[in-house]
Amino acid sequence: MAAVGIVFVSHSARIAEGLVELAAQMAPSVALEAAGGTDEGGIGTSYEKVASAIGRADHGGGVVVIGDLGSAIMTAETAAEMLDPAPEGGVVVLDVPLVEGGVAAAVTAEGGGDLDAVVAAARSAAGGGASAEPEPESSGPATRTVVLADPEGLHARPAAELVKLAGRFRSSVRVNGTDARSLLGILALGLRTGDSARIEAAGPDARNALDAVAGLLGSTSG
């Protein structure tokens, strides 16, 4: 399946490059490109840098472009409109929180999400969580409590792994009441090593989902 690429547009080259470095920790297979600063290396934005970054990020599944300030968004929109030929999968320019939206988009793309899913994940950063989705047909809820074993707790990379794992199942999965497919929601829990996490799964493959998530997070406590 064609993959979605992501471009970070910032007035600062260091910020754009840092965001690529951060997102790559959680989405190593996604095409992540930085377009920061002017052509001369100063603070500002560059049409040429953005257009070139979109071209490099285009792997057939579309490209999401996220900017840090209004003029960066305008530059990105102009570049997207002027591309010839335009990426077959399309280009979507978003004005969302750069770090939160970019990381959420990257993790969704890493999990195989299409352009619409990646855009929705990025936009969820502005609203503080993922949009509600219909629950799958339930075969009865399953619950388990585990003690977090990862030394990092549920931060950054471990949280991204959880989100990707939960997305493989048809059942809904929640950790301490939060949708396990929402990276921002999981990170907001602030769970650390040794904390208890209550996992709930409901749907046609709830038991398998519960076993998988519990195995990822840690040891059973009850």
Of the residues 3, 10, 11, 20, which is catalytic? 11
Residue type, 191: L
Is 155 annotated as catalytic? no
- Residue 104, Cβ density class (10 Å: 0-12 exposed, 13-18 middle, ≥19 buried): buried
Q: How far apart are the first and last CA of the chain?
A: 40
Burial of 155 by CB count in 10 Å (0-12 exposed, 13-18 middle, 19+ buried)? middle
The Cα 36–Cα 38 span in angstroms is: 7
* CA atoms of 133 and 148, how far apart (whole Å): 27
- Cβ neighbour number for residue 173 with a 10 Å cutoff: 26
The H or E element that residue 116 is part of is helix 115-127
| Residues contacting 70, CB < 8 A, separation 6+ | 95
List, by residue number, the catalytic residues.
11
